[in-house]
Structure 1
Amino acid sequence: MRARTAIACSVADQGVAALTNILVLVSAARISTVADFARFSAVYLVFTVLLGISGAYTGQPLVLRRGDDEEVRGACRLSVAFTLLAAAALGSLLAGICLPLSGATPAALLALGVVLPVVLGQDTMRYAFSTLHLPHLALAGDVLRLACVLGALAVQPHGVSAARLVAVWGLATLPALLLSAALLARTAAGTPLRLGALLRRGHLGRRFVVEFGVGNATAQLSVLGLGTVGDPLVVGALRGATTLFGPLNVLFGSATGFGPPLLGRLADDRRRIRAAAVLAAVLAATAAAWAVTLALLPEPAGRRLLGDTWPTAAALLPATGSQYAAMAVATCGLLALRVLDPRTTLAVQVVFSFTAVALLIGGYVLGGVPGAAWGLCLGSVCKALATWGRVVRLGRRAVAGRPTVSADPAPGPVRPKSAGS
């Protein structure tokens, strides 16, 4: 498949997956009571966290996999099998804990435990097809999932329980999982399964799980903390402003999760760095254009999007738009680091996640809610500068002929290789 077609399929697949998650919540809200939707949302949040952990532990290291065709196919089959087994074990534990408990929320969590292997397995299939340079197959599976899930939710009666919603949503993913499994079997059937390879100390998934926890939790918890001890409006305003940039989150997720196989097609590190820089410029320009578009929206249209939150969110658009432009540059810098030396991203994520929190709090103290938004923007700028500074140093090392670290995450410890290999 040509690179442009692969990129288009990867972005489209990420968009379909994001659209599915959004429409699931919208459909659930329409057919359930307020209390049951709150329970469903809480369980869905638990699933979202588990999905992020699963992607960090198995999916992101998988897309960095290098080697001959048989090794890559084996790694894909191994990752899918490991996810299914781990999800089954975790789901059984969750169901066992909730089974003796009474109440609607434990029942919904029990249903999540039952369907967990299905929903996590389908997500890992997406990473496998991306690694195999077959993103159109991932797109086919996710389109089928979208159709089945929305169709199943559409025929549910009003007032359906949260547990039933979770069960219907999860089981409706089964046709997509079976289709993806059949397509993957055509490529990877017969390759050996060594599950211990994903449990070894050198597996990059451990580092990526820590990155996921730090990068996704610190800023959100700090915003909630400011809303608790300071002005509650800070939570709604910042969340409302970032919600407007949801389409960019899809692009950023696509670049991080599915960009490494595309960059890996390029012949040497210099070309990979150049491609990542071009992508950073394109995404930053897209963020700026999106911010201008939102700023030009008339107030009635804005209120239809966010209701009464629109005026406060609109006031933050300059800061949030600048933040997302900087995030685009930082995301592509991290993408380049994942390809050049994946061990360097953890330190960057930890240091600058806490830097962003400090700047968020400092900005709020100095300038209220707008100051908090500009603090987050400054944190993203610092992160972008740090990531690309590291990329430039690694690029110079490659040009000088010094050994770089392989992005091959498994099996066993990371092995040095010559530059340009």
Structure 2
Amino acid sequence: MSRTPARGGLRTRAAVVCSVADQGVAALTNILVLVVAARLSSAHGFAVFSLVYMTATVLLGLAGGYVGQALVLERGEAARDACRSAVVFTAVASSALGFTGAAVLALLPGDTARGLSALGLVLPVVLGQDGLRYCFSTLRLPHLALTGDVLRLAVAVPALALQPADSGPARLVLVWGLSALPALLVSGALLAPRLRGARSSARRLLRRDHLGRRFAVEFAVGNGASQLAIIGLGLVASQLAVGALRGASTLFGPMNVLYNSATAFGPPLLRRVADGAETGAGRTVRTTAALAALLGATAAGWAVLLLALPDSVGRQLLGDTWGSASGLLPATGSQYVGIALGTSALLTLRVLRPRATLPIQVSFSLASVAFLVAGYAIGGVLGAAWGLCLGSALKAAALWLRVGSLGRGRWRGRGRGRGADAHKVGVRVSDKGGQP
């Protein structure tokens, strides 16, 4: 009895280290890509690149929600079939969407249309490589995901750095996207033997009870809503505002390492932490509450560090974009503290009650968009940044209030003999491959 928990603890610690390291490498790649693009581009060119890059981020988030977030809840032998189905579905869907979009946008004038058309051409590579990372997480092989992302970093940054100064946004997007091809090929070669004999049924991802539908909607009205609003702001109002907001958020890239680790790989790890606990739900809440305090303090400390950054260093990082981005650091730093608290609460609900997050995500994400637009109307790009901060703070408060009410209900239910451990909820979700 004692040896099993010990071995599981060792595996859990190793999985945590590899998962965080993987997200760290992925986030570092994103940071360096934006830094190199900012240094190579004018303020206008970086604004256009930022708009296209943010579009790619939205598409990655939607794919991660629809395919990846549902995939990591799978357990047992069914996980291999689910991974194979996810790979096939991602390849077909991303190719159809990307190539069709590229053909249509190629007919339109302007740097933005050309940049988005380039994104369509590389979309299957970008989404495919990201999808394989979720497969490795599901199969509890995060070290293989780390291998692919290290290769991605080793190729992407030098490839962009070798481009000539004042390269157009479309060229930079193509180089960025194609730089994921070696990682895609290597990851595919590593995954193929582990899926040998597994059955593929991409139609399972089109079923009405597919849990990914809910997660994709949550992203669309959560992170995606504010990002789409910023994209819309760039299309109809000011592309330079997009560049400033993106430049400021780029400086908080290290925080995204921890946020992405929690949302992408937290559910299976939390279930393993709760294994064998008599009160799995309570232990999950305590763990994520401690995580919220740690992430919030780290975000605040990072914001203080950035505020003390000399202008000369800032310009080395962001080039011409530093002038507009530096004034947004107090608002963006406060926003990231709110995101830290909200991410931890969202992770708690994702494990204990997946259905509970959607109403909050819809309500407060739409409120965040309203705050963004109102803030821009009142105070320009700085007002927009504070609007995003207010939306993140209110969403975090609502999510933790929901966690509190759920915890009280579970503990009362256990007292009446109707309770269930948190990790058992996760098992039901993964066994059915749909709603619990």
Fraction of identical pairs, as percent = 59
1:372: Cα distance to partner?
6.0
Pairing of 1:151-170 with structure 2 (within 5 A): 151-153=158-160, 166-170=173-177
Aligned to 1:213: 220
Pairing of 1:140-219 with structure 2 (within 5 A): 140-153=147-160, 166-219=173-226
1:144: Cα distance to partner?
1.1
**Aligned-partner SS, 1:193:** coil
Q: Which segment is superposed worse, 72-81 or 239-248? A: 239-248
For 1:414, the aligned partner's letter is: Q
Residues in 1 aligned to 2:386 and 2:259: alpha-carbon distance in whole angstroms: 20
Aligned to 2:292: 280
1:53 to 37, 54, 62: 62
For 2:299, the aligned partner's letter is: A
Instruction: Give per-residue Cα distances to partners, 1:89-118, cap 9 Å, x unaligned.
Output: 223433554677899877765654443322
For 1:295, the aligned partner's letter is: L
**Cα contact 1:200–1:412 (8 A) shared by 2:** no
Residues in 1 aligned to 2:172 and 2:317: alpha-carbon distance in whole angstroms: 26
Q: Are residues 151 and 244 of structure 1, via their aligned partners in 2, closer, same or farther at CA, if it must alter by over 3 Å?
A: closer
1:269: Cα distance to partner?
2.2
Q: Are residues 335 and 312 of structure 1, via their aligned partners in 2, closer, same or farther at CA, if it must alter by over 3 Å?
A: same
Aligned to 1:418: none
Q: Are residues 111 and 330 of structure 1, via their aligned partners in 2, closer, same or farther at CA, if it must alter by over 3 Å?
A: closer
Residues in 2 aligned to 1:311 and 1:35: alpha-carbon distance in whole angstroms: 13
**Cα contact 2:23–2:261 (8 A) shared by 1:** yes
Aligned to 2:30: 21
Pairing of 1:248-327 with structure 2 (within 5 A): 248-265=255-272, 266-267=274-275, 268-298=280-310, 300-302=312-314, 305=317, 317-327=329-339
Q: Are residues 29 and 180 of structure 1, via their aligned partners in 2, closer, same or farther at CA, if it must alter by over 3 Å?
A: same
Q: Which segment is superposed worse, 138-147 or 110-119? A: 110-119
Residues in 2 aligned to 1:315 and 1:101: alpha-carbon distance in whole angstroms: 34
1:12 to 21, 25, 41: 21
TM-score of the superposition, structure 2-length normalised? Answer: 0.78
Residues in 2 aligned to 1:107 and 1:364: alpha-carbon distance in whole angstroms: 27
**Cα contact 2:148–2:183 (8 A) shared by 1:** yes
Aligned to 1:414: 435
Residues in 1 aligned to 2:141 and 2:37: alpha-carbon distance in whole angstroms: 32
Instruction: Give per-residue Cα distances to partners, 1:273-321, cap 9 Å, x unaligned.
Output: 2211111111011012112223334455456556787687666655543
- Of structures 1 and 2, the one with the larger relative CO (CA 8 A, separation 6+) is 2
1:342 to 347, 354, 373: 354
**Aligned-partner SS, 2:210:** coil
1:18: Cα distance to partner?
2.5
Q: Which segment is superposed worse, 337-346 or 186-195? A: 186-195
Residues in 1 aligned to 2:96 and 2:236: alpha-carbon distance in whole angstroms: 39
* Alignment RMSD (CA, Å): 4.0
Residues in 2 aligned to 1:100 and 1:320: alpha-carbon distance in whole angstroms: 37
1:388 aligns with 2:400: yes
2:94 to 87, 91, 96: 87
Instruction: Give per-residue Cα distances to partners, 1:240-297, cap 9 Å, x unaligned.
Output: 5544323213321221112112112122222222211111111011012112223334
Residues in 2 aligned to 1:339 and 1:243: alpha-carbon distance in whole angstroms: 29
Q: Are residues 364 and 50 of structure 1, via their aligned partners in 2, closer, same or farther at CA, if it must alter by over 3 Å?
A: closer
For 1:192, the aligned partner's letter is: R
Q: Are residues 147 and 384 of structure 1, via their aligned partners in 2, closer, same or farther at CA, if it must alter by over 3 Å?
A: same
Pairing of 1:354-373 with structure 2 (within 5 A): 354-359=366-371
**Cα contact 2:211–2:435 (8 A) shared by 1:** no
Residues in 1 aligned to 2:372 and 2:201: alpha-carbon distance in whole angstroms: 45
1:370: Cα distance to partner?
6.8
Residues in 1 aligned to 2:325 and 2:108: alpha-carbon distance in whole angstroms: 41
Unpaired segments of 5 or more residues in structure 1? 416-421
Q: Which segment is superposed worse, 253-262 or 359-368? A: 359-368
Q: Are residues 58 and 303 of structure 1, via their aligned partners in 2, closer, same or farther at CA, if it must alter by over 3 Å?
A: same
1:2 to 11, 33, 36: 11
For 1:345, the aligned partner's letter is: T
1:132 to 136, 139, 142: 139
**Aligned-partner SS, 2:215:** helix
Q: Are residues 198 and 406 of structure 1, via their aligned partners in 2, closer, same or farther at CA, if it must alter by over 3 Å?
A: farther
For 2:212, the aligned partner's letter is: G
1:205: Cα distance to partner?
1.7
Q: Are residues 34 and 304 of structure 1, via their aligned partners in 2, closer, same or farther at CA, if it must alter by over 3 Å?
A: closer
Instruction: Give per-residue Cα distances to partners, 1:303-348, cap 9 Å, x unaligned.
Output: 6556787687666655543332222111100011111111111111
Aligned to 1:419: none
**Cα contact 2:234–2:242 (8 A) shared by 1:** yes
For 2:152, the aligned partner's letter is: R
